[in-house]
Copies of this chain bind each other. A is one copy, B any other.
């Protein structure tokens, strides 16, 4: 790219992300600043039940003060394989274990200001069990929806989470081509 980094400073160290401020200089001599959130990423799982319905969770999202319908997902533990994270979050949030977990792809959620990368998997051959939700996930509930129901909810503005929409598109392309 057409710049060099003059300095880099971590101005906030958090539990979920750190904030880094870089001073840069374009080749033209113009100075610039880049403020970025450093996030270590996570995994998302699109569980498909025996009737072909997709399992989603309804959960409260503090930053937007709103209940959302989302695919199960969670942050990577330090050094964790995203595949194992997907399997873990599936069990924790829905109680399901899966016979087969296959990668759909990876996404970046907000590449303009954050490094977060999410790995997305589809899970098949589900067996029900007990969920293991954390206290911050209080009130989370599960819902299983057909693709038609999901598309209606997207059009109605009832599914708005970008990782969920991204996962649905990847699944449609790979498993339900037009």
Q: Is A139 an interface residue (CB 8 A)?
A: yes
One of A45-53, A55-63, A78-86, A123-131 contacting the partner? A55-63
A106: chain B residues at CB < 8 Å are 157, 160
Report the Cα distance A44→B119, complex, angstroms.
Answer: 23
CA distance A63 to B112 in the complex (A): 7
Size of interface on A: residues with Cβ below 8 Å to B: 67
* A149 in the interface (beta carbon within 8 A): no
Contact, CB under 8 Å: A161 / B108 = yes
A146 to B54, CA, bound (A): 28
The residue in chain B whose Cβ has the minimal distance to the Cβ of A5 is: B62
| Complex: chain B residue closest to A169, CB-CB | B169
Given contacts A19-B12, A30-B135, A178-B178, contact A110 B105 (CB under 8 A): no
Please measure, in the bound complex, the distance between the C-alpha atom of A1 and the C-alpha atom of B110, giving whole angstroms.
Answer: 27
| Chain B, Cβ-Cβ closest to A2 | B138
Residues of chain B lying within 8 A (CB to CB) of residue A1: 60, 62, 138-139
Whether the Cβ atoms of A110 and B162 lie closer than 8 Å is: yes
Of the candidates B15, B21, B115, B118, the one whose C-beta lies within 8 Å of that of A33 is B15
18 pairs, CB–CB < 8 Å, chain A vs chain B: A1-B60, A11-B12, A17-B113, A22-B62, A32-B136, A61-B108, A63-B111, A63-B112, A64-B111, A111-B161, A114-B114, A162-B162, A162-B165, A165-B165, A165-B169, A169-B169, A169-B172, A172-B172
Q: A66-B111, A109-B109, A165-B169 are in contact. List 12 more A-B contacts (CB 8 A).
A: A14-B35, A17-B37, A19-B19, A37-B63, A39-B113, A70-B111, A106-B157, A155-B173, A162-B166, A165-B165, A166-B166, A176-B178
